[in-house]
Chains A and B, each alone.
Chain A
Amino acid sequence: MTFFQADNLIINFGGIRAVDDVSFAVSKGEVFTIIGPNGAGKTTIFNLVSRIYEPTVGRLVFEDRDITKVPPHRIAALGIARTFQNIELFEHATLLENLLLARHVHKKSTFFGELLFLPAVRQMEVEHREAVERMIDFLNLQEYRDALIVNLPYGVRKVTELARALCTGPKLLLLDEPSSGLNVEETEDMAFWIEDIKNLLGITVLMVEHDMNLVSAVSDRVLALNYGRPIATGTPDEIKSHPEVVRAYLGG
C-alpha cells in the first residue's frame, strides 16, 4: 500500500517552472525532510500537497487514493494537516479557540442544532475540548490557553501552530520550517516533539527545514532540491556527504 506518493510534480508560474518533475514517496511512520536553498521550490511542494496550488502536471496519492483533484478544504478530513512557514494563526482569537477550530473536520452538529445549542452540541463541544486538552498537555501550552494569539511571543505561536495541526487528528503532518525564528533551545524542544509525534502519536511527518542539526536529528530520509529539481534522496548522512548537495546547498 502506498502511504503518500508524489509522481512527476510540475508547476509553472508564468514562465517560471517552480517545481520540475519531482517524485517522492513517504512511507508510514517516517520523518521525511525536504531541504534545499532558498527558492528551490520546497514550500511550493507543500502548497501542492495541501492543494492550495494546482499542479500543471503530476499526481498525488494518499493512502492509495488519488488526491490530485480533491478540494483544499477536504484535505484535512483525509488526515493531512499542515503548518505554515510564516505563522497563519487566527490572531484575534484565543489559543483555545484556535485549537478548537482544528476539530472542525470532526464536527457532527448541524446549523440549527448549533443555533439552539442542543445537548448533543454541548456534549460534542466538551469532547472536542478533551481532545484539544490532550494536545495542550502534550506541547506544554497550559499557561497560554486563554491568551489571544496577538499577545503571544513568536516561539509560542510556532508551537501553537503545531498543536493546531495535531488537533485535526492527522495521519500525515506537513511542517513548513518548524524551527524558523526559534532559538537554539526552542529548536531542541522542537526536535524532541517531532520525535514524540512520530513515536508516541504514530504520525508520519513530511517536513521542510533549513537547520541541518534538526534535519539530522529527526529525519529518516531526506530529499534535496535545487531549482525545483530533485538532486538526491537518502539518509541524512548520505545527503550530507553527497557532492552535488554539498555544492548546491551545504557548502564546504
Chain B
Amino acid sequence: MRFVFKTSYEQDVRLFRDGVTAMWYGLLAVVMLLLPSLLSSYYVGEITWVFIYGICGVSLMVLVGYTGLLSLGHAAFLGIGAYAHAYFLQHGVPWVASIALAILITTASGIVVGLPALRMTGIYLAIATLAFAVIIQEVFTRWEAVTKGFAGMAVEKPVIFGIHFNDAATFYYLCAAILALTLWMTRNLLRSPTGRAWIAIRDSEIAARSMGVNLAVYKSIAFAYSAALMGLAGALFAHKIAYLAPDIFTILLSIQLLLLVIVGGLGSLHGAVFGAIFVALLPPTIAILRDSIPATLSDVASTTGIGLVGAVGKAIGDFLKKPGVEAGFFGLILVLVILLEPLGMYGRWMKIKLFFSTFPMYKRHTFTRQKSYMKSERLR
C-alpha cells in the first residue's frame, strides 16, 4: 500500500495525485503514441472509435453522472454536430472554423433543450430529450437542402492548416489529442466551483440552492457543455464514418451512449473512457470471435478426431452470425452490470487495484456500503 503524504493544499488541486500517478498516465500516453506503428490499420481504426466514443462518454458523464440529469436524446446532438460540420466543409469553410461553428450550433441547441430541464427531472426529462431526438432525426431526413436526406452526405477527410489527415494513423492521433483535451478541460471544470455545483445539484437541489448555487444557470451550463462536447464528437464521427445518413442517429444510438456511461461507471471520467472501450470494441470482438471460434475448434476437431468439438464450434459461429446478437450482448451486459457491479467498470477497476495494493490483506467488504437508513424528505 502506498501512502501519499500531503504537505500543501496545492497538492489536492493538482491534475494528478502524485508523481507516480503522473508517471502511469505518461506511460499510457507513450503506449497510445506507439500503437499505430505496432498494429494494422484495421485495429488502429477500431481504437479511433474508442476515442470518439470517449468524447461522447465524457459529454454524457457530465450531464448524467455529475449533474444527475438524464438524457435519452444525445444522438441528436451527435448528429447535429456531424451534419453541421459536414455541411460547412462542403461549402468550403476551413476545418477549424467549421468545427467551431458545429460546436456553436450544438451548444445553442443544448441550451434550448436544457430549458425544460430547469423544471423537469428524472423520467420526465428523459422523455422530453427523447422527443427532441425523434424530432431532430426527422429533420435530418426531411431537410434535404442541407442534409440530402436518405441520399446521404459524403464527408471530406480533415485538412487542418494544410496538413492532411487521410490515413488511419494520422486520424487516430487527431482523435486521441482531442479526447485528451476534452478530458483535461472537463477535469478542470470538475475541480472548480462549476463541477462542485453540478455534483451538488445531483445530490440535493435544495441544499445546493441554499448554498447559493443558481440551479437554472448551472443546469444550463451542464446542458450546453455536454452538447458542445457531443458536437465535437459528432464532427469527428462524421469524418470517421465518411458518409452521413439520418438512420445513423437513432434512439438506439442514444441508448447505446447512455449504456456507455452506466457500464463505465457513473460519476467518474475514467468510467466514460472505460465505457467507450466497451462500446467501441464489443462489435469487432464479436466479429473476430465469429470467425476464429469455429476455425479454432474445427482445427481441434481435426487434430483430436472428436467431431463434436467441430460441431460445437460451428454452432457458436452460426449463433454469432445471427442478426441482433450484438444488441443482445449489449443488453445482457447492461443487466449484469446493474445487478452485479452498480459502480460499473471503473468500480471493478478500483477493486482490482485495491486488491493488489493491499495484497494479501484485501477485504471484500471495503466496498460494501451501509444502507442509507434515513432518506430525507425532499421539499420538492
Binding site for B on A (CB under 8 A): 47, 50, 52, 71-77, 81-82, 84, 86-93, 96-97, 100-105, 107, 109, 111, 114-117, 121-122, 125-126, 129-130, 133, 150-151, 154, 164, 168
Q: Determine if B208 is an interface residue (Cβ-Cβ < 8 Å).
A: yes
Binding site for A on B (CB under 8 A): 9-10, 12-13, 185, 188-189, 191-197, 199-200, 202-204, 206-215, 221, 267, 369-370, 372, 374, 376-377, 379
Task: Please indicate the chain A residues that have their CB under 8 angstroms from the CB of B199 in the complex.
Answer: 90, 92-93, 97, 101
Taking a contact as CB atoms under 8 Å apart, the answer to whether A114 and B212 are in contact is: no
Chain A residue nearest in CB terms to B206 = A88
Whether A125 touches B210, Cβ cut-off 8 Å, given contacts A93-B199, A133-B9, A150-B369, is no
6 other A-B residue contacts (CB within 8 Å) besides A86-B376, A88-B207, A117-B188: A89-B204, A89-B207, A93-B199, A101-B211, A104-B197, A129-B13
Taking a contact as CB atoms under 8 Å apart, the answer to whether B197 and A114 are in contact is: no
Taking a contact as CB atoms under 8 Å apart, the answer to whether B212 and A82 are in contact is: no
Partner of B212, one of A96, A100, A104: A104
Taking a contact as CB atoms under 8 Å apart, the answer to whether B200 and A76 are in contact is: no
Taking a contact as CB atoms under 8 Å apart, the answer to whether B206 and A52 are in contact is: yes
Task: Please indicate the chain A residues that have their CB under 8 angstroms from the CB of B215 in the complex.
Answer: 73
Task: Please indicate the chain B residues that have their CB under 8 angstroms from the CB of A91 in the complex.
Answer: 203-204, 372
Task: Please indicate the chain B residues that have their CB under 8 angstroms from the CB of A168 in the complex.
Answer: 211-212
Task: Please indicate the chain A residues that have their CB under 8 angstroms from the CB of B370 in the complex.
Answer: 150-151
Find the residue from B202, B267, B370, B376 having the highest chain A CB count within 10 A.
Answer: B376
Cα-based distance from A114 to B209 in the complex (angstroms): 21
Partner of A101, one of B13, B197, B374: B197
Whether A74 touches B212, Cβ cut-off 8 Å, given contacts A88-B207, A92-B267, A111-B194, is yes
> Main SS of the interface on chain A?
helix
Number of A-B contacts (CB under 8 A): 123
Q: Which 4 A-B pairs have the closest CB atoms?
A: A86-B376, A76-B212, A114-B192, A90-B203
Task: Please indicate the chain A residues that have their CB under 8 angstroms from the CB of B211 in the complex.
Answer: 76, 81, 101-102, 104-105, 164, 168
Task: Please indicate the chain A residues that have their CB under 8 angstroms from the CB of B189 in the complex.
Answer: 114-115
Taking a contact as CB atoms under 8 Å apart, the answer to whether B203 and A92 are in contact is: yes
Task: Please indicate the chain B residues that have their CB under 8 angstroms from the CB of A77 in the complex.
Answer: 212
Can you list 22 contacts pairing A with B, beta carbon distance less than 8 Å?
A: A52-B209, A52-B379, A73-B215, A77-B212, A82-B210, A84-B206, A84-B207, A86-B377, A88-B206, A91-B372, A92-B203, A93-B199, A97-B196, A100-B196, A101-B197, A104-B211, A105-B212, A111-B194, A114-B195, A122-B10, A129-B12, A129-B13
Whether A88 touches B188, Cβ cut-off 8 Å, given contacts A82-B210, A104-B196, is no
Partner of A88, one of B9, B10, B194, B204: B204
Cα-based distance from A88 to B213 in the complex (angstroms): 14
Task: Please indicate the chain A residues that have their CB under 8 angstroms from the CB of B12 in the complex.
Answer: 96, 129
How many Å from the CB of A114 to the closest CB on chain B?
A: 4
